[in-house]
Structure 1
Amino acid sequence: MTQDTAPVEGLRPPDEGPRDDFRPTRPKLPLWDRVKFVILLALLWLVLVWAAMADNPLLPFPDAARIQARDSLWIFVLIGLEVLRQIHFLISERWSGYHHFWTYRFFGGIERLTHRRLSDWTRFRIARAFKWAFWIVVFALVAGAALDTSPFLALFQAPAIIWQFLPLIMQIVLLMFVLILQFVALFWFLSRGGIETYYPDDIKTRFTDVWGQDHVLDRIRENLLFLEKPDAIEAKGGYVPGGILLWGPPGTGKGEPVSAQIMTPTGPRQMGSLLPGDHVIGSDGRPTRIEQVHLLGVRDLYRVSFSDGTSVRVTEDHLWEVHTRYGGKHVLPVSDLIGRLTEADGHARYRIPMVRPVEFEERELPLAPYLLGALLGDGTFRHHIGISTADPLVVEQVEVMLPDGDRLVRKGRYDYSIVGGTTRTILKELGLFGRYSHEKFVPDDYLWTCVEDRLELLRGLMDTDGAIDKRGVVEYHTTSPALAQAVRHLVQSVGGTCTLTSRETRYRYGEEVRRGRPITVVRMALPPDITPVSLPRKLDRYRPRSTYLPQRRIVDIRPDGREEARCLRVAAEDHLYVTEHFVVTHNTLMAEAMAGETGRPYVFVDPGAFTNMFMGVGILKVKSLFRKLRKLALRYGGVIVFFDEADSLGRRGALAQGGPGFPRGTRPAPFEDACHGFSYLSDDSKWLLTRNAMAAARPAPDDPRAGRNLVVMGNMGMGGGGDMGTLQALLSELSGLKKPRGIVNRYVRRLLGMRPKPPPKYRILTVMASNLPEALDEALLRPGRIDRIYKVGYPSKAGRVRTYQGYLDKVRHELTEDEIDKLAVITPYATGATIKDLVNEALIIAIRDNREVIEWRDVMQAKRLKQLGPPEDVEYIERERHAVAVHEACHAVAAYRTRYHMEIDVATIEKGAEYLGMVASIKPEDQFTRWRTEYEADIYVSLASLAGERLFFEGDSSSGVSSDLEQATAVATQMEGFWGMGSTVSSYATSAQIGTGTPGGRGQGHREDPEDVARRALADRIEDNLGAYLDRVADLLKANRREILTLAHALETNKTLTGEDVVAVLERRQGPLVDGTVYQREELLREIEEYHRAAVVAHRGHAKVSITLPAVPAVTVGPDSAWRPPTAILATPASANGADEPEVTAAEPHPNGASESPKSGEPDTDATAEPERS
C-alpha cells in the first residue's frame, strides 16, 4: 500500500533537493537604518554651505545654500538615489512578489547565468578586471576635480603632470626608500621561508610509493574522491571534508646518551635516570615536566661543538631549534646540519637559543655566597683564614657577613685575619681549609642553588679577582682550574657564555726569573639584566650589552662513538630543555602522494614557518599563504596544503602543561612508540623500564615542585611569532574560506540591498601532521576545519612485507618470499625509514664482500648491526667467556621452555658498547593483549640469569643480573598492584590517588602513615612472589642442565647464534648455520661437563682454565634419529598466582622458539620480552 506524501511545514518535500533558505519578504529595517545615509548627505551639504559662508562672510545663508545647491548637484542626486533605495526596501518588506522578482529572478538569474557560462577562475579574473577599472575611475574623478577638467581628459593629462613633478617625486621616494629599506628587507627575509609550493608536473609520488599504511590510504582515497568529484556529496546535501589530521609515533624527541647530564630543579641528573613526571629545566630557566621518555637503544652519537668551547653528544636525529643571522628559525636534525654549518663568508650559519637564568631549588648554605666568593678570590686558607684586599667596601661586606662569633682583625695595610673559629670549622667541613690558591674550588651546594645565591657568589669572585677594562670586557683570573670551571658554570647557568684561555706567568726570584703557575682567564658575555659585580668602581666600567648578546653558534659536528640513548618530550611550549653546559636542545610522504594522485598542486608548510622575531609577521604569512592557496585552488580546481608538526601552531593550554594527570587520550610515555619510530621494545616493556610504579605521574600536592610549572611559556625572547596571534589568523582563514570576499561583493552589494554573492568553492584540502594530537587547540580540531583524524602507526606485518618488497625490488637480491616474510616477523617495530636503512646496509655488506646480490646472511648481519651496533674487537679470557655464555644460555633455555608467545631472535656473547652478551626475542605475530601467564614467563626468563649463575657457579653471582632483577621486579609490581594478577584486585595507584585507602593499609586512626604500611605490605607480597618464581625457574634449569651447557658451548664456539640455530642446538637437529646433531654424542657431552667444572675451578681461584674448549666433531646424523629432552615441571606457586595452575612441562619442544636479552654493564641480563644486554 502506498500513500501520498505531502510537504510538512519546516521540512522540504521528499522529492526536492536542498535549496537556499527562502524568505517571502525582506526583513524590516529599523528607522535609523532607513534615514542615516540621507541625514549624512544632508549634513555634508550643510558643511559645504558653511564653508562657502566662511570664504565670503558677506554672503547670506539663502544665497550660499542656493549656490551650493547648484554647484553640488551630485549630493542631491545621491539623496534621491538613497530615497529610491529605501522605497525599494520598503516595497520588498511588504510585497513578496516584488522581493522574489528582484532577488531570485533578476539578480539571481544573472548569477546563475554567469555560473553556467563562466568557470570560477574566469569569474575571478573578470572581478579582478572590474576592480582595476573601479580604481581607475576613482582616480579619474579625483584628478578631474583637481585639474578642473573632465575625468576623461584628466587621465591623459596625468602622465605629463607626473613627468613634470618626477624629480621631486624621486627625491621623496629615495628618502622614503632609505628609511624603510632595512625593514622591507628584514620582513622579506622573515616571510619568505618555510613554505614551498610544488606544481603537478613536479610531483612524482603516488600511493604506490607509500607502503605499510594501506588502512589509512583507503580512507584518504575517499577524501580525494570528494575533492575530484565534489558533486557526489554536495548534490545530496553534504559538504566536502576540508581537513585531515595525520598523527602517529612521536618524531620530535631529542636523542641523547643515557650518560648525558640533564639539568633539573635539584641539579644535574643522568638521562638514564629520568622518568615521565620528573621535572627538568626548560629554555626559560623554569622547571617543566617530562611527558614522554623514549628508549632508542644503542645509537651512533655525534659531538656538537659550540663557539664558546662547550660541546654535547647527541644522536643523528636529535632535533635542534636553530636561528640564522637574518632571524629565521628552524627545527632541524643533526643530519641536516652536517656540512651546512658555515655561510659563504665563513661565519657560522646557525645559533641556538640561550637559556634564561636557571631556577634551581634554594639550598641551605653554611656561609654567605658573597663571603665565600670573596674568600675564594682574595682569601687564604693554607694555615689560617684571612683576606687581602685594597677595597674597603669588600672588607665591610665580608665583616658584615661573617658568622656569629667571628670577627675581622687587621694585620697589615691590606691584610686581615678572621678569628673566632666558626668560619674555620665550616671551611674544613667544605674541604677548603689547608688548600693552596691553585687548589681552590666551589662546593657543589653553591653551584646548584637558587639564582640569587649564585649571582652573589659570582659577585664575590668578580669583586676580588675579576676585571673590567675600558671597553667593558669582563674577565676573571685564577690559577685554579677548578675555580675557572666553577665561574664558567655560574655564567652559563644565568644565560651567559664564556671562553677559557690560559697564559704563562713569570716572576723574579733574586736575580733569577722563574716560571709561575699558569693563569686561566675566563672572558664572559652576560645577558643585559645580569650584573656580575657590586663594587662602584667596577660598576662604572661595566656596560650591559644591548647588541651582540650572548649566543652559541654551532661550529663543528663529528661522530663520537656509540652508546645507549633516550629522548625526552617535555611539556614546555617550545619543547626545549637544558642539557650539559646549559645547552638548550627540541608524515610528509603521504600528503605528497595525495597531491600526486589528484594532479593538484602541493604546498608544504614547515613547522617553524609562522614563528618570527617580530610581532605580526606570522599573521601576515598566514594571510599570504591562504591568498596563494585560493588562487591555486581556482586555477587548478583544488590544492593540498600540508602543515607538518601542527602542534607547533597552537597548543591546548591545559594539555600543553600536562593538566591533571595525562592529557586526554594519551598514555604515559613508556606506552608510546619509540622516538622516530625505531625500537625493538614492546609497549609493556617500555612501560616497565621507565615508569615509577609507586608514584603518580605528577608531584604530590605537598611537593614543593607542584605547581611550579603551571605557567611555562615558550618563545618569550624577542617574540613576535606569537603562537596565539598566528593560531587566530589560521582559524580565521580556515573559517573564512566560505565567507564572501571582495569590497564590491561585501559592501557595494549590501549598499544596493543585495546579499553578497557566496564565494567560489575553493577546493583546499588541509592536511596536518602531529605527534601529539591531544595538545592541539580544540578550535583547530572543530568540524569544518579538521574533519577527519587518522592515526598513522607502525606498519603491520603485511605492511612490513610490502615495504621490504618495495625496497628490495630496487636492488638485486636472492631472498625468497618466505625469507621476506620471516624478515618482517623479526623486525616488529620497523618503519619505512628503518626498513630502507636496513636494506641499504645489507647492500653495503654485500658490496664489501665483492658481491652485487643481497643474500639472507647479508640481511641478518645488517639487522644485527643496526639493532646491536658493531661488536667491539676484544677477546674474553676463557673463564669470563664461559660465564657469559652460561648466563645467556640460561636466558635462552628459560625462554625456550616457558615463553611460548615469543621467538628467540638472536643470542650472542660478542661484546658490544653497552653489553657483554645478549639474547633477543620477538613476537611471531602482531599481538595486542598480554596475559598473566605471559608476564610470568617474562619473570622466569629475567630471573633465569640469577638462578643459573647460582646453580652453575656454586652459589656465586655477578652484577650482570641487576637489570634482570629490575625488570622482574617491575613486572611483578604491575601484576600485584595494578593488573589484578596477584593476591589483590584493586589498583594500588588509583586507590592512593583518589584517597580511598590502599589494599594492605591500616585505618586512618593509626599513628603510622597508612600509605607507608600499604607500600610495605605490597613490597612484601612482591618479594614473596619473586622468591617463588626464582625457586621455580631454578628447578627448571636443574632439569635442563645439559641443554644449558650445550647451548653455552655453541655460543663459545660460534659467538653469535640466530634464533633458529638456538632451537636447533636445543632440539639436537640441523640448523641454518649450526649443526645441533653433534650434541647427541655422549662423549662430547661429558667433555662439555668437564670443561664447565674446570671453568668453575678457574673462576673460584681467578686462574686459567686447565683444559681447552671441546672441539665440535664432524658427525652426520640420519634424518630418523631423534633426541628426547628430559622433562621438568614448573609448578605455579600459590603465593605468586593466588591459585593453583596447570603444570607446564619442558618435555615438548617449544612451538615457536623463544627469546630474551638482558641489559646492564656486566655479564648479560634478560628483560621482559625484549632485547636484553649483559
Structure 2
Amino acid sequence: MTIQSRPRDTDRKTRVHLSVYDRTKFLMLFTLTFFVLAWASMADNPLLSFNDAIVKTADEKLWLLVLAGVEIVRQIHFILAELLAPYHGIWLKYFSFVNRLLGKLSDWNRFRLGRVIKWLIFVAMLSIILGAVYKETPIRALFLAPKALWSVLPMIGQLMFAVVFVIIQFAAIFWFLSRGGVDTYFPDDIRTRFSDVWGQDHVLNRIRENLLFLETPELIEKHGGYVPGGILLWGPPGTGKTLMAESMAGETGKPFVFVDPGAFTNMFMGIGVLKVKSLFRKLRKLALRYGGVVVFFDEADALGNRGISRPAMHSTESNTTVFGTPCNGGNYLSDPGKSLVINSTISSSKFMMGGAAGGGGGMGTLQALLTELSGLKKPRGFINRVVRRALGMRPKNPPKYRILVVMATNMPEALDEALLRPGRIDRMYRVGYPSKAGRVRTYEGYLEKVSHSLTAEEIDNLATITPYATGAIIKDTINEALIMAIRNERTTITWSDVIKAKQL
C-alpha cells in the first residue's frame, strides 16, 4: 500500500479552500462597525430613523464601504483561484516573478524596505481615521495628531502610573526574595591562610596554581591557553574542603564570594533563577573592578541535577540487590563507587517520575547556573548595546570576566553531568583522608594551640592508630582531651587524655 504525502503548495493546481470563518471574518467586522456607527448617529439625534441613519452613515463613512468592497473583491479572487486552475497558475507565475525580484535584495535590505512600507501604511491608516474623527482631509488631520495626543496625555499618564506602580510592587517583592545567601569578602577580611590547612598539601599545591593563573592570567594566555574557570573539591566529610576555600579567601588578592548551600532554595518558582542571575551579575562587576573574583559553592550537591528522582524504597531494593549477595557483592568498592553502581542499577531497571526532578534549588535554577557558567556573554552597558546599535555601530565585544568557580561536596555522584564537563568545572580534586604524615602534621598543628606533654613518638603513634581520622575528627579529639584535662583540674593534655578522647 502506497502512502501519499500531503501535496506541497507549489504542486497544487488550485488554491487551498478557505474555511467559512476565514472567508467572512473581515466582512462581519466591517458590517458590525457600520451598524455601530449607525447606532451612534441615532443616539446623537433621537429624531433620526433607522433608514435615515443607515443612509447618513453610508454617506459619511464611505471609506468603510470601500474597504468592504475591497474585501469582497479579494474573496472573489480567492474563490476563482480555488476553482479555476489556469487562473491560479497566472497568479503563481506573477508571485514567483516578484519573489525573484525581491530575492536579488539582501535580507537586511528587504527587512528595512518592509519596515518602511509598514510605517507608511500605518501613517496612512492613522491619517484616514483622524480625518474621520475630526471631519477633515486625511493630510490636515494628520497634523492634528499631536493635539489629540496632548488631550489624552493625562489619562495615559494615569494608566502608566498605575501599571508602573504594580510593576514596582512585584519587582520589590522579588528583589527582596532574591536577597540573602551570598556573602562577599574582600582582601584581608579573612585571616585564614594555606599554612592553616594541614594534611592536604597535594591539593593545596593545585589550588595555588589556579590562584596564580587567576592573578597573572598572561602566564597561560600568551601561549594560547585559557585560565581554568572551575574547581570541584570532593571527598569525605571533615577533610577540610571548606577550610581550603576559606584559606583561598585569605590568600588571594581578589574578592571572595561565599554562596550558602540553601541560597537557591525558595518558596516561589523562579526566585532561584533570579538569584543565579543576580549572583553572576555581581561577580562580573567584581571581576572587572578587581581583575578577578573567586566564588565558592559549599555543599554543591544541594544544587541537585536534572535527572529523575527515585523513592527511597527503590534505592533500598537496589542496595540489597548489589551488596546483599552471598559472594560479598560490591562491598569492596569505595563509597562514591557504591553510589555510582546503585544509581546505574536504578536507572537501568526503573524509571520513576519525580516532582522535583532530582531536587535542588528549584525548577530552572540549575539550568540558569549552567548557562551562566558557559553561556553567551552579551555586550555590557545600555549605551554599548542600544545607542551604538541605533547609530548603526557594532557594539563592543564583552570583556573577559576572570571568575574562578570553586565547589565542594561529599557526594559528587549527585551533581549533574553537564555541570562537571570541562569549560564549567575544569579540574576535580579529591580531598581524601590524610596520610600518616598529614595526620601527624594535623595533630601537631592543633596541639600547638594548647598545653600538652605528648612527645613526638606519642604523636606518631596517635597518627598510626587513627588511620581514618580527618581534620575535623583530629580537632575534636584534641578539644575533648582538653576538656578531660580541665575536668581533672589540669591545664596540660596528657597521653591518657588523648586516648580517652579517642574512645568517645
TM-score range, shorter chain: 0.5 to 0.7
- Residues 576-608 of structure 1, C-alpha deviations (whole Å, 9 max, x = no match): xxxxxxxxxxx2211121121112222221222
Partner in structure 1 of residue 263 of structure 2: 609
Map residues 919-998 of structure 1 onto 2, 5 A cutoff: none
Partner in structure 2 of residue 43 of structure 1: 118
* Per-residue deviation, 1:737: 6.8
* Per-residue deviation, 1:235: 1.1
Partner in structure 2 of residue 740 of structure 1: 379
* Per-residue deviation, 1:831: 0.7
* Per-residue deviation, 1:32: 2.8
Map residues 155-304 of structure 1 onto 2, 5 A cutoff: 187=174, 190-249=177-236
* Per-residue deviation, 1:616: 0.6
* Per-residue deviation, 1:215: 0.7
* Per-residue deviation, 1:642: 1.0
Give SS of 1:610's match: coil
1:784 corresponds to which of 420, 423, 429: 423
Partner in structure 1 of residue 411 of structure 2: 772
* Per-residue deviation, 1:185: 7.2
Contact 2:185–2:249 (CA<8 Å) still a contact in 1?
Answer: no
Contact 2:231–2:429 (CA<8 Å) still a contact in 1?
Answer: yes
- Counterparts of 2:438 and 2:256, CA distance in 1: 26
- Counterparts of 1:220 and 1:696, CA distance in 2: 31
Which amino acid counterpart does residue 825 of structure 1 have in structure 2? T
- Counterparts of 1:819 and 1:32, CA distance in 2: 82
- Counterparts of 2:360 and 2:236, CA distance in 1: 30
Partner in structure 2 of residue 383 of structure 1: none
Contact 1:613–1:720 (CA<8 Å) still a contact in 2?
Answer: no
- Counterparts of 1:231 and 1:812, CA distance in 2: 47
* Per-residue deviation, 1:784: 1.3
* Per-residue deviation, 1:749: 4.5
Contact 1:641–1:767 (CA<8 Å) still a contact in 2?
Answer: yes
Tell me, yes or no, if structure 1 residue 838 matches structure 2 residue 477: yes
- Counterparts of 2:401 and 2:104, CA distance in 1: 33
- Counterparts of 1:598 and 1:793, CA distance in 2: 24
* Per-residue deviation, 1:782: 2.0
- Residues 755-794 of structure 1, C-alpha deviations (whole Å, 9 max, x = no match): 4422122121111112222332222122111111111111
Contact 1:610–1:621 (CA<8 Å) still a contact in 2?
Answer: yes
Which amino acid counterpart does residue 835 of structure 1 have in structure 2? I
Partner in structure 2 of residue 645 of structure 1: 299
- Residues 946-990 of structure 1, C-alpha deviations (whole Å, 9 max, x = no match): xxxxxxxxxxxxxxxxxxxxxxxxxxxxxxxxxxxxxxxxxxxxx
- Counterparts of 1:206 and 1:29, CA distance in 2: 67
Tell me, yes or no, if structure 1 residue 722 matches structure 2 residue 376: no
- Counterparts of 1:614 and 1:715, CA distance in 2: 16
* Per-residue deviation, 1:710: 2.8
- Counterparts of 1:29 and 1:214, CA distance in 2: 68
Tell me, yes or no, if structure 1 residue 710 matches structure 2 residue 347: no
Partner in structure 2 of residue 624 of structure 1: 278
- Residues 396-424 of structure 1, C-alpha deviations (whole Å, 9 max, x = no match): xxxxxxxxxxxxxxxxxxxxxxxxxxxxx
Map residues 1000-1015 of structure 1 onto 2, 5 A cutoff: none
Contact 1:807–1:839 (CA<8 Å) still a contact in 2?
Answer: yes
- Counterparts of 1:635 and 1:175, CA distance in 2: 33
Tell me, yes or no, if structure 1 residue 588 matches structure 2 residue 242: yes
- Distance 1:180-1:737 versus aligned 2 partners, 3 A rule: closer
Which amino acid counterpart does residue 634 of structure 1 have in structure 2? L
* Per-residue deviation, 1:29: 11
Give SS of 1:202's match: coil
Contact 1:640–1:766 (CA<8 Å) still a contact in 2?
Answer: yes
Contact 1:610–1:618 (CA<8 Å) still a contact in 2?
Answer: yes
* Per-residue deviation, 1:614: 1.0
- Residues 51-84 of structure 1, C-alpha deviations (whole Å, 9 max, x = no match): 22332357667x669x87xx99xxxxxxxxxxxx
Contact 1:198–1:603 (CA<8 Å) still a contact in 2?
Answer: yes
| Count of residue correspondences | 379
* Per-residue deviation, 1:245: 0.8
Partner in structure 2 of residue 157 of structure 1: none
Contact 1:801–1:820 (CA<8 Å) still a contact in 2?
Answer: yes
Tell me, yes or no, if structure 1 residue 798 matches structure 2 residue 410: no
Partner in structure 1 of residue 127 of structure 2: 52
Which amino acid counterpart does residue 449 of structure 2 have in structure 1? K
* Per-residue deviation, 1:720: 11
Which amino acid counterpart does residue 54 of structure 1 have in structure 2? I
Map residues 362-401 of structure 1 onto 2, 5 A cutoff: none
* Per-residue deviation, 1:629: 1.1
Give SS of 1:830's match: coil
Contact 1:655–1:775 (CA<8 Å) still a contact in 2?
Answer: no
Give SS of 2:460's match: helix
- Counterparts of 2:343 and 2:262, CA distance in 1: 34
* Per-residue deviation, 1:656: 7.1
Partner in structure 1 of residue 98 of structure 2: none
- Distance 1:738-1:176 versus aligned 2 partners, 3 A rule: closer
1:847 corresponds to which of 486, 489, 494: 486
- Counterparts of 1:696 and 1:764, CA distance in 2: 32
Give SS of 1:44's match: helix
* Per-residue deviation, 1:751: 5.8
Contact 2:231–2:407 (CA<8 Å) still a contact in 1?
Answer: yes
Partner in structure 2 of residue 862 of structure 1: 501
Contact 2:301–2:412 (CA<8 Å) still a contact in 1?
Answer: yes
Which amino acid counterpart does residue 119 of structure 2 have in structure 1? L
- Distance 1:188-1:195 versus aligned 2 partners, 3 A rule: same
* Per-residue deviation, 1:230: 0.6
Contact 1:655–1:774 (CA<8 Å) still a contact in 2?
Answer: no
Instruction: Pick 1 or 2: higher relative contact order, CA cutoff 8 A, min separation 6.
Output: 2
- Residues 702-722 of structure 1, C-alpha deviations (whole Å, 9 max, x = no match): xxxx63x73344489xx9952
- Residues 1013-1043 of structure 1, C-alpha deviations (whole Å, 9 max, x = no match): xxxxxxxxxxxxxxxxxxxxxxxxxxxxxxx
- Distance 1:206-1:30 versus aligned 2 partners, 3 A rule: farther
* Per-residue deviation, 1:632: 1.5
Map residues 420-499 of structure 1 onto 2, 5 A cutoff: none
- Counterparts of 1:595 and 1:146, CA distance in 2: 59
Which amino acid counterpart does residue 419 of structure 2 have in structure 1? L
- Distance 1:743-1:35 versus aligned 2 partners, 3 A rule: farther
* Per-residue deviation, 1:205: 1.3
The alignment's TM-score, normalised by the length of structure 1, stands at: 0.29
* Per-residue deviation, 1:187: 3.9
Judging by fraction of residues, say which structure has more strand.
1
Tell me, yes or no, if structure 1 residue 822 matches structure 2 residue 461: yes
Which amino acid counterpart does residue 592 of structure 1 have in structure 2? E
Partner in structure 2 of residue 961 of structure 1: none
- Distance 1:720-1:228 versus aligned 2 partners, 3 A rule: closer
Partner in structure 2 of residue 636 of structure 1: 290
Instruction: Specify every segment of 5 or more residues in structure 2 that has no aligned partner in the other structure, as ranges.
Output: 1-102, 320-328
Give SS of 1:221's match: helix
| Percent identity of paired positions between Structure 1 and Structure 2 | 61
- Distance 1:812-1:785 versus aligned 2 partners, 3 A rule: same
- Counterparts of 1:850 and 1:206, CA distance in 2: 34
Partner in structure 1 of residue 398 of structure 2: 759
- Distance 1:779-1:645 versus aligned 2 partners, 3 A rule: same
* Per-residue deviation, 1:817: 1.6
Give the root-mean-square deviation of aligned CA atoms.
Answer: 4.4
Which amino acid counterpart does residue 786 of structure 1 have in structure 2? I
